[in-house]
Structure 1
Amino acid sequence: MANTQRYFIELAYDGTNYHGWQIQPNAVTVQELLEKALTILLRQPMAIIGCGRTDAGVHAKEYFMHLDVETMDHRPWTMDKRSLNALLPYDIAIKNIIPIHADAHARFDATLRSYEYHIHFEKDPFLNGYSWLLRDKLNLDLMNRAAAIIMEYTDFSCFSKSNTQVKTNNCKIAKAEWVETANGIVFHISADRFLRNMVRAIVGTLLMVGKGDMQPEAIRQIIESKNRSNAGTSVPACGLYLTEIKYPYLDEINNSLNQ
C-alpha cells in the first residue's frame, strides 16, 4: 500500500556556479542537482517545486521547495538532512526538512519574500563574487528618498524583463531601504512577489540617484512610464541574495516540531 507525504525543504545555496534555480537545457542549475540527489536518496523519480526563480549567479540564504514522497509499507526509505547533504555539492546546503499538509505550496503560499543587495567600496578578495565592488561615491540619503517613493507604487513594469509571461506586473513592496555596513552598503527589499530581474533593475536605478545623475523624484516618471528602457542598468548578480520567505503556517509548524 502506498502513502504520499508532502515535505517542505529549507535550503541555502551559493549561486556562483549555477545558471539559476530552474532546470534548463545545457546548463547546471540548483533544481537539477537537488532532483538528482533526491532520486538517489529516495530511490524513486523526484520532481520538486521551488518558491521562485533566481537568476544565474544569485545566492539564496533561505529558499524553500516542496516535494511529494511516495512510501511503500514494504520498502524502507530515509528522508533526513544529513543523508541529503552528503549527496549535494558544498555550495548547496539543506537546513531543514518539514513534513507539511498535502495542499501546502512552496511558491503560491509564500506571503513575503525578501532580498538583499550588497555593495562594497574597497577591493576585498573575500567579498569577490559575494558583493559588488563599486568605486563611485553615493548619497545614501537621496537613495533612500527614492526608495521610499518606489513603495508608493504597485506596477513595476519598468523594472521587469520583457516577455516574462506573468499575468500582472503588480507587486506590494513592504520594505525598501539602504543601510550602511562596516564594509559598504546593503539594500533591503521585501514584497509579496517580485518580477524577473526586478531587484537588480531597482538597485541600478537607485544608484543613478546616488551618483547624482537624477533626482529622487525622477523615479516617479520612470515607474509611471512602465518602460524598462527608462530605468537603470541591472547590477551584477553576485551581490544579490534571497534572504527570507514567509508562509502563514510555517512558524507554527516549526514550533510544534521543536517542542
Structure 2
Amino acid sequence: MSKRYFIRLSYKGTNYHGWQIQPNANTVQEEVNKALSTVLNQPINVTGCGRTDTGVHASDFMVHFNVSETTQFDCEKLAFKLNRFLPHDIAIKEVFLVNDEAHTRFDAIARTYHYKITKNKNPFRTDSHWNMQYVLDVEKMNEAAKILFDFSDFTSFSKLHTDVKTNNCKIYKAEWTETDDELVFTVKADRFLRNMVRAIVGTLVEVGRGKMDLDGFRKVIESKNRSNAGSSVPGHGLFLAEIEYPESITNS
C-alpha cells in the first residue's frame, strides 16, 4: 500500500526547457525528482498538473508522488528540506496528503494563466514580460476576448498534431488589464490546449494593432484552422497562475 501527496510549488522557467523531463535538457521535473529522491532516500518520480514550455513560468503548479505507508515525514519539514536542495528558481510552497486516487492533472477543475507585456524596455522584466512597443487598442482587445465565451472548440489556437481527444474547453474568464507600462491578459478555463494561451494572445494583439477586426477574430475561431490565427507570442511572458481542485481530493 502507498500514500499519495500533492506538492504546490512555483518556478521561474528561464533556465529550463519546460516542465517535463527530456533527454539532454534541464527541466523542472528533473530537479524536483532529484530533490525528493535525495531527501526521502528513495527513487521518486513526480507527476505534474500539466506541461509548460521552455521559458514559461509557474507561480502556482501542482505535482503528486507516492510513497509506501511505512515512509514517515512531516509535510512542513519536508517542504523546508526540499527548498534547501532545490535551485533558487524553484520554490516549494506546501506538501499535503491527498486521497490515493487524487491526480494533479485529471482532477484539476480550473486553471488560470497570465500573459504579461511590458510597453517599455525594462531590464528587470527581460525574463518575465514580452517587450512589445506597438500602440494597442486595449478596449478592442477586450471586446475580442469576450467572443471567446461564445465558443468551446479552440482548434484554431491549438498546437498541431497533439494527442488530446478533444479541443473543447470552457473559458470562464478572459480580459486585459492595463497600467502605465504593463498589459496583463488573464484567462481562466477548465482546461487548455497546447500553446493555446500564446496563440490567443498573439491573435488578440493583431486585433489591438488594427490588423484584424472583431468579425475577423470570430472567423478565426470558427475556421478551426491554426494557420488563420496570429503567431504565438514568446513563452517568457506566460505564467501558470493558479490551479483549482475540488475539496474531495483531501477527503478520506
TM range (shorter): over 0.9
Cα distance in structure 2, aligned partners of 1:11 and 1:124: 27
Match of 1:147 in 2: 145
Q: Give unmatched runs, 5+ long, in structure 1.
A: 255-259
What is the correspondence of 1:22-41 to structure 2 with a 5 Å cutoff?
22-41=20-39
What letter matches 2:235 in structure 1? A
1:99-138 alignment, distance < 5 Å: 99-138=97-136
Residues 87 and 111 of structure 1: CA distance in aligned 2, closer, same or farther (over 3 Å): same
The answer for unaligned runs of 5 or more in structure 2 is none
Pair 231,69 (structure 1): closer, same or farther in 2 beyond 3 Å: same
* Runs (4+) off by over 2 Å: 75-79
Aligned pairs, number: 249
The answer to whether the 8 Å contact 1:42/1:78 transfers is no
**What amino acid maps onto 2:126 in structure 1?**
N
CA RMSD of the aligned region, Å?
1.6
SS in 2 for 1:95: strand
Among 10, 13, 24, the residue aligned to 1:12: 10
- Give the whole-Å Cα distance in 2 for the aligned partners of 1:182 and 1:34: 37
Structure-1 separation of matches of 2:180 and 2:49 = 31
Secondary structure of 1:113 counterpart: strand
CA deviations over 1:182-212 (Å, ceiling 9, x no partner): 4311000000000000000000000000000
- Aligned residue number for residue 44 of structure 1: 42
The separation in 2 between residues aligned to 1:53 and 1:85, in whole angstroms, is 22
Which letter does structure 2 place at the counterpart of 1:31? Answer: Q
* CA displacement at 1:87 relative to structure 2: 1.0
CA positional deviation for 1:76 = 6.0
What is the CA–CA distance in structure 1 between the aligned matches of 2:194 and 2:179, rounded to whole Å?
A: 27
**Aligned-residue offset at 1:116:** 0.3
Cα distance in 2 between the residues matched to 1:13 and 1:77: 24
Distance in 1, matches of 2:216 and 2:27, equals 38
The structure-2 alpha-carbon separation of the partners of 1:209 and 1:86, relative to structure 1 and needing over 3 Å to count, comes to: same
What is the TM-score when the length of structure 2 is the normalising length?
Answer: 0.95
Partner of 2:175: 177
Q: Identify the residue that residue 81 of structure 1 maps to in structure 2.
A: 79
Q: Measure how far apart 1:77 and its partner are.
A: 5.2
Amino acid in the other structure paired with 2:138: L
Q: Matched residues, percent identical?
A: 54
Q: Which residue of 2 aligns with 1:246?
A: 244
- Matched AA of 2:147: I
